[in-house]
Structure 1
Amino acid sequence: MIWLTRLLAALLLLVGLIVAAGGAYLIWLGGSPYYLPGGIAVALSGYWLWRGDRRAGWLYALFLAITIVWALCEVGLGGWQLTARIVGPALFGLPFLLPFIRRRVGKGAVAAGLASLVGFLLILGCALQSPMEIAALSGRSGTPVAIPGDPGLWPSWGRDDAGTRFSPLTQITPTNVETLQLAWTFDTGHDPMRAPVPSPLQSTPLMVDGKLLFCTQTNIVFALDPETGKPLWRFDPKVDPKGGSAVRTCRGVAYHDGGAAVPAPCPRRVITATYGAQLIALDSATGRPCPGFGEGGFVDLNQGMGRTAPGLYYISSAPVIIGDVIVLGGWVADNVSTDEPSGVVRGYDVITGALRWAWDMGNPNNAHGPAPGEAYTRSTPNSWAPMSADAKLGLVFVPTGNATPDHFGAYRSAQSEKYSSSIVALDAATGAVRWSFQTAHHDLWDYDVASQPTLIDLPAPGGTIPALVQPTKRGELFLLDRRTGKPLAAVRERPAPQAGKVPEERLSPTQPFSVGMPSIAGDRISERDMWGITPIDQLWCRIHFRKLRYDGPNTPPGLTESLLYPSLGGGMNWSGVSYDPERRLLMVNSIYYPTLMQLVPRAAAGGGAGPGASHNATDFAAPLPMAGTPYGARLRGFTSPLGTLCLAPPYGRMTAIDMTTRKIAWQRPVGTVRDSGPLGLEVGLPIRMGMPGFGGTLVTRSGLTFFGGVKERAFRAFATDTGEELWSVRMPASGNANPMTYIGPRSGRQFVVIAATGHVTSQSFPLGRTFHAYALPQEAK
């Protein structure tokens, strides 16, 4: 067996030399001194093992002992962190226990093998748990709250116009949820990998008028039988897919019941908006366009938008309807140029399709549309995220993005600066601004307010305070009085990093932090947070981190590569949060995915202005053009050569916040590595790490939280009060959409429905095309 001994010796020598060389470079960069002597020890052990020198085992045992002590000193008992530091060296130590190696190098081999076993036992004792977990101190019961309307329906995208995603249903409970089974599936028939670009199915159905109503990423609208999932009708607007990007999607439709005031046809109508920038009203009974709405059921949303091109402007989120007004914004392609369509927000008559009002932040004179030959102000911040509404206050709450292009702001107007990355309350009748609150000043990081504002009522002496919770990509949760926009939880302006910007740019000296609410942003990253499958790729990540420009949150983009964390994906993204008003728990799902950002000179970026350059689905490192500025931008994930994130887990968490105390009630990583791994390979092990994703939660009165939005092909139910996982099921793709629930009108069964989606940006493949409905067995309901 001499050849096996020499193979181990050669591997130790090679790995040791690589680690020593990298360790020397890391020390030169100001990093940890561990790797240089560690690498020398490993290489020398290999050399002595090759020669049969008995010192080989003793030296390797000493190296392992020092490695274990160093790891504990650096990261404590964090299981995943210890794994990255100890498993690789320990694996090389186990072969020393083989008889033929023991005979060659003596008792030192036993010492090396035993040190390896100690390392494995230490990791096993930590049970691969993240230190970023907070257990619930105790369970809690809810105080009943009156929920208006039919409890068995799901009439709006967030179930209600407040965006709470709270269902008052109680048939499925923490005690019987483990018996949930698949009731039906529905295949949309669309191949999500079809050209021009892959795009995920992210729609959340409505349950209203005896039907499930939803749209696909190709804007086909379906009505299904809610008991069986069988199609009742289908409407295809035949949208031209040219100019696509990886975020091409339709996340939902809206519904309006005009009652006796609207005679047939179309007293009850489905409102949808398309990738081709059309607003469409369909008869809920038949799926046919409503003839009295616009031109034969269609309104052209390109009216007044000026120069545009396919894919530069479209509607990705469900419109909100307040009274008889449809309110919608639109998605404008990121980072294409300084001359893109307007971010105008518009209100349309739900019966006729006529324009009621327009909020053009750059020109108030366009309140009723621009004059012939003119257009809404170009390149203003858009509102692509879902909106919320308060009919009692007569307000629509509009989350805004930043003005294009995202990563260079020197040419932005004063109005764009004022309303960028904000929540803006508009008068639903006129479109006039009542108040606004900015969540990121002079946003250069694509920190769009991507989540639907969630409206809650906070207990107060003598009654309640109408409040608004705004999740952000920055990981900050802002709590505002929705009447005035004034903070109800303290907000503090803190100094922002200033070094590294390009000469033409200006920076905000401060950024707002919501210090009165728990931050979900994660801690500031340091070298010890670097992670890897092996010591070599962890060392690579440490070296790369030391070479980056990083001054904490809001490090400005510049010509040298910088670290963006929280990332432009979040924090919290379009799925929003859920709120249980009876337990007063806010359920927050969040992402921890660092991004590398670098501005490149105009010549290196090219001048193309095609929308496909925005959120490129195939080449994530391709420069984004930002035409009209001196620079382009290059963005990519901070990953090792093995394709794993350089940041230590968790990458996805769920947090319950007690809105009475405004403290974290519990927090846990969600998602396993079963469908992930190095080099894109699936590990196949259900080891909980906490995975990134973009789907949202659903909470029920019975005390359940449903969630599928991680990079894993699974759908789960948790106890809302403690975070305990109670049920999970495998799906053909990950559930990166928001689930919903309802009562079947004939059977009386409670169903929970989610789209099996996958996701392009998080590299969660395959992309799905089916909806899955789960219910209790017939006899158990």
Structure 2
Amino acid sequence: MLRVLIALLILLCALACVVGGTWLGVLGGSWFYLVLGLLLAAAGLLLLAKRAVGLMVYAVALLATLAWSVWEVGFDWWALTPRGGLLFGLGVLLLIPAVRRSMRYKTSQIAYTGMLSLSLLVSAGVAGYALTQTQGIPGAFSEERMTAPVSEQVAADTVPEGEWHAYGRTAAGQRFSPLAQITPNNLGELQEVWRYHTGQIRDGADPGETTYEVTPLVVDDRMYLCTPFGTVITLDPTTGEELWRFDPQLKQPPTVTTQHMTCRGVSYHDAGPAAEQAQAVNNNGMDNAARLQMSASEVTDKAAGVAQNVAAGQAMSGDANPQVKRDVGYAGGAVGICRKRLFVPTSDGRLIAISAEDGSICPGFGGDDGTVNLWANMPNVTPGSYYSTSPPVVTDKVIIVGGAVNDNASTTSPSGVIRAFDIYTGDLVWNFDSKKPDSTAPIAEGDTYSENAPNSWSVSSYDPELDIVYLPMGNQSPDQFGGNRNDAVEKYSSSILALNASTGKVEWVFQTVHHDLWDYDVPAQPSLVDLNIQGQRIPALVAPTKQGEIYVLNRVTGEPVLPVTEVPVPQGAAEGDFTAPTQPVSAISFNPPTLTGKDMWGATMFDQLACRIQFQQLRYEGRYTPPSEQGTLVYPGNFGTFNWGAVAIDPDRQIMFAMPVYLAFTSKLTPRDDGTSRIVTKEGEPIINENFGAPYATTMGPFTSPVGLPCQAPAWGYVAGVDLTTGETRYQRVNGTVRDLAPVPLPFEMGVPGIGGPIVTRGGVAFLSGTLDYYVRGYDLRTGEERWKSRLPAGGQATPSTYLGADGRQYLVVVAGGHGSTGTKAGDAVIAYALPKE
């Protein structure tokens, strides 16, 4: 009976291989599966007939599969396993004595059994050898490099050593701490010191992209953080005790147009004596009653007629826009409690100033309610379609705010305008509308900004010495069709944009993708660092991108510091569109090799075969293959090789530490019959990828097998160390396990995706919590080796921070709240670690 069962399983495998293999071969892929299917069919039929020669035929099939697999992928264990794992297991079952006894006895049965045994031993030997092989780039920085003296810091880095004042610690965005208590030698001794729960966790009623991405700030022995719902919480950083919280009382619940609910952080500003001077100036002769023009709630009421229209995702350019007057701010006597203040962006389109001392409102910033209404002068007011997800940039004069505009909902989205408000009064100082780049003077009260103008949704950097703000720029919708973009949009989309922080005038622009059709908007904060190259000190910025290029530019001029080369890319865009002939490739590039059929993967040979068939059906000619009605493979995908977590820069050692991620996505264009009907979503569902008003809707998603695994072979995630003076990648190590991704919690280190960023310290360590398994990890910065990890109660898709506690110990703090888009477990934990007390 057992023999019959095994023979039937072999025949089922044969059937799948013959049918799938024929399909794959006709599509232009490998014919091996068909050959294998015929061998397995012969073996299965012989075994059903009790013919021992079936063992020999099966052995031939197993050895042929092994030889073919090694020829395709070498000795990569994770690539070999799905090709031969099931066949190996069935071969072992065929050696069970009861199976062999059930066959007709012949002297030759011994030889056939021996051949099968030999094939299994050879397969096991190859597998054992493959387990000793490693992926990535082994290497390390020299000991001399790691003992480099402390260098002169850029002007933006004037922050006390034990504190963390901004998302990237300083306005330079390096994510580097000069603290050195924790080293590679004692890293393994880190232990949890305290754990705090915010009490706010996403649930099924929240938008899918409700994500906890905050990096806590630590200033003057206070820790400041926000939740995805805009609540600001202040903790004692040494004990984790809650000191106070501020609830912005969101005025607009999530709607079908709400794509995001997140808060990456708040912004801190200490006005110092300048605040008193500002108060005196702004109170001189002004009537308080005339200062507050319109509250946020009044703006919502005034926009109701338009909001009803756009709630269905059908905002049209001809619709009447609410004419929202700018709020005129005043100091209002609030300086005493608001000399130290936090700026809080909310998901209903407000920017609120609160006291960093006690969380009370700072009246005078925008009005009595301490609020600037970010919907002011916006076209197409749509609840949930626009707000600032990232902490604004603070200078000594202005606060500079970008915003997230819903991707691929409509060609009549709100504007991606970038605005600067007076740091004390909230008055509009300048606005940069990328469709009207020369008109930076504050917009007139009755005018509106350009609809669907490219935005800047991520974190920006600031150089106070140059008075330049560096903004990572996105695209106008839709991302996958650009036939209707004007010259200004073409110039500023997917670029690093340098603006004068006081005037909003363009200093320079460097485009990272020409005519972007892949949602390769620049997602990450540029890091400012002075590099020592060939004996010269060069003011530079380091800009990571979704497509895997890391551009090192002169932050004064925008010219490349490390070489950038224009290379030809695939052509042939959809009807009505075009493709750029070349794209810029940097000396530091994490662009993966072009995928082929042999790179397809699965848990078994069958879902791997399905992935190979799917691969052959998609259009794919390498990176920058244009979107198509056929369906296009996009690799790297719009998840990004790098995303908002950015990279970490050690300015002394001139080292970059990064987490490159490799996941392929697919996109398919569907022609629209009209500009308003739903094509790819159902009524009541969130409006994503409909592209109302464009010629095509888009279907997008990860490139996965029928069982939901990535179709491309692992590893999918690494950590890497780069020499910024030469552009050389010194190491790239597989990072993360599939414990929280697989149906069974197996701790296989396959290298998993992640979102969130790393930090580095003068102690020579790096920390990272963004991988999709639930761990925070510590690494030796010199080698990239993992030296410590701690289990998290939920997804840790945020960037940690580190600081000096009141007890003199260096702390690491990380948020574990999960990420809705990646499906990691939701939570509300804030966890701090430190070395044991001496």
Q: TM-score, normalised by structure 2?
A: 0.88
Offset at 1:461? 5.4
Q: Give the structure 2 partner of residue 89 of structure 1.
A: 87
Q: Give the structure 2 partner of residue 43 of structure 1.
A: 41
Q: Give the structure 2 partner of residue 777 of structure 1.
A: 836
Q: Give the structure 1 partner of residue 331 of structure 2.
A: none
Structure 1 counterpart SS, 2:146: coil
Which of 795, 809, 828 is the aligned partner of 1:749?
809
Which of 178, 185, 209 is the aligned partner of 1:175?
185
Q: After the TM superposition, which parts of structure 1 deviate over 6 Å for at least 4 consecutive aligned residues?
A: 609-614
Q: Give the structure 1 partner of residue 149 of structure 2.
A: 144
CA contact (8 A) 2:691 2:697 kept: yes
Structure 2 counterpart SS, 1:120: helix
Q: Give the structure 2 partner of residue 277 of structure 1.
A: 349
**Distance in 2 of aligned mates of 1:759 and 1:125:** 37
**Distance in 2 of aligned mates of 1:551 and 1:7:** 44
CA contact (8 A) 2:43 2:55 kept: yes
Offset at 1:339? 0.8
The amino acid that maps onto 2:608 is Q
**Distance in 2 of aligned mates of 1:138 and 1:33:** 48
Greater C-alpha radius of gyration: 2
Q: Give the structure 2 partner of residue 763 of structure 1.
A: 823
Offset at 1:245? 4.3
Offset at 1:130? 4.6
The amino acid that maps onto 2:808 is G
Offset at 1:246? 5.0
Residue 634 (structure 1) aligned with residue 699 (structure 2): yes
Offset at 1:149? 3.3
Residue 579 (structure 1) aligned with residue 577 (structure 2): no
Q: Give the structure 1 partner of residue 262 of structure 2.
A: 249
**Distance in 2 of aligned mates of 1:635 and 1:377:** 27
Identity among equivalent positions (%) equals: 42
CA contact (8 A) 1:57 1:110 kept: no
1:74-153 matches, within 5 Å, as 74-105=72-103, 106-107=109-110, 108-127=112-131, 129-136=133-140, 139=143, 140-146=145-151, 148-153=158-163
Which of 532, 545, 566 is the aligned partner of 1:472?
545
The amino acid that maps onto 1:180 is L
1:482-501 matches, within 5 Å, as 482-499=555-572, 501=573
Structure 1 counterpart SS, 2:359: coil
1:171-192 Cα distance to aligned partner (Å, 9 max, x none): 1111111111111111111121
Q: Give the structure 1 partner of residue 664 of structure 2.
A: 594
**Distance in 1 of aligned mates of 2:141 and 2:215:** 33
Structure 2 counterpart SS, 1:699: strand
For the structure 1 residues 461 and 504, does the alpha-carbon distance in structure 2 shift closer, same or farther, using more than 3 Å as the test?
A: closer
Structure 2 counterpart SS, 1:170: coil
Offset at 1:40? 1.1
CA contact (8 A) 2:431 2:443 kept: no
For the structure 1 residues 778 and 604, does the alpha-carbon distance in structure 2 shift closer, same or farther, using more than 3 Å as the test?
A: farther
Structure 2 counterpart SS, 1:265: helix
CA contact (8 A) 1:84 1:538 kept: yes
1:442-591 matches, within 5 Å, as 442-460=515-533, 463-499=536-572, 501-514=573-586, 516-517=587-588, 519-591=589-661
Q: Which deviates the most, 461-470 or 521-530?
A: 461-470
**Distance in 2 of aligned mates of 1:610 and 1:254:** 38
CA contact (8 A) 1:209 1:284 kept: no
Structure 1 counterpart SS, 2:354: strand
The amino acid that maps onto 1:121 is G
Q: Give the structure 1 partner of residue 310 of structure 2.
A: none
Q: Give the structure 2 partner of residue 357 of structure 1.
A: 430
For the structure 1 residues 164 and 610, does the alpha-carbon distance in structure 2 shift closer, same or farther, using more than 3 Å as the test?
A: farther
The amino acid that maps onto 2:55 is G
**Distance in 1 of aligned mates of 2:500 and 2:535:** 27
For the structure 1 residues 461 and 674, does the alpha-carbon distance in structure 2 shift closer, same or farther, using more than 3 Å as the test?
A: closer
**Distance in 1 of aligned mates of 2:832 and 2:79:** 38
**Distance in 2 of aligned mates of 1:180 and 1:290:** 39
The amino acid that maps onto 1:502 is A
For the structure 1 residues 70 and 604, does the alpha-carbon distance in structure 2 shift closer, same or farther, using more than 3 Å as the test?
A: farther
Structure 1 counterpart SS, 2:698: strand
Structure 1 counterpart SS, 2:68: helix
For the structure 1 residues 364 and 662, does the alpha-carbon distance in structure 2 shift closer, same or farther, using more than 3 Å as the test?
A: closer
For the structure 1 residues 418 and 367, does the alpha-carbon distance in structure 2 shift closer, same or farther, using more than 3 Å as the test?
A: same
**Distance in 1 of aligned mates of 2:775 and 2:21:** 40
Offset at 1:462? 5.7
Q: Give the structure 1 partner of residue 360 of structure 2.
A: 288
Which of 488, 510, 516 is the aligned partner of 1:437?
510
Q: TM-score, normalised by structure 1?
A: 0.95
Which of 196, 199, 203 is the aligned partner of 1:186?
196
**Distance in 2 of aligned mates of 1:697 and 1:725:** 13
For the structure 1 residues 233 and 612, does the alpha-carbon distance in structure 2 shift closer, same or farther, using more than 3 Å as the test?
A: farther
For the structure 1 residues 278 and 137, does the alpha-carbon distance in structure 2 shift closer, same or farther, using more than 3 Å as the test?
A: closer
1:326-373 Cα distance to aligned partner (Å, 9 max, x none): 111100000011111111111111111111111112225642332233
CA contact (8 A) 2:259 2:384 kept: no
1:733-748 matches, within 5 Å, as 733-745=794-806, 747-748=807-808
Residue 58 (structure 1) aligned with residue 56 (structure 2): yes
Q: Give the structure 2 partner of residue 33 of structure 1.
A: 31
CA contact (8 A) 1:245 1:611 kept: no
Q: Give the structure 1 partner of residue 736 of structure 2.
A: 671
Offset at 1:60? 0.8
CA contact (8 A) 1:71 1:82 kept: yes
User: Which runs of no fewer than 5 residues in structure 2 stay unpaired?
Assistant: 104-108, 276-334
Residue 259 (structure 1) aligned with residue 320 (structure 2): no
The amino acid that maps onto 2:835 is L
Offset at 1:612? 11
**Distance in 2 of aligned mates of 1:113 and 1:334:** 57
Structure 2 counterpart SS, 1:591: coil
For the structure 1 residues 43 and 596, does the alpha-carbon distance in structure 2 shift closer, same or farther, using more than 3 Å as the test?
A: same
For the structure 1 residues 190 and 11, does the alpha-carbon distance in structure 2 shift closer, same or farther, using more than 3 Å as the test?
A: same
Offset at 1:537? 0.7
Offset at 1:138? 5.1
Offset at 1:397? 0.2
CA contact (8 A) 1:142 1:582 kept: no
1:716-768 Cα distance to aligned partner (Å, 9 max, x none): 101001011100111111211001000112x111110111132222232x122
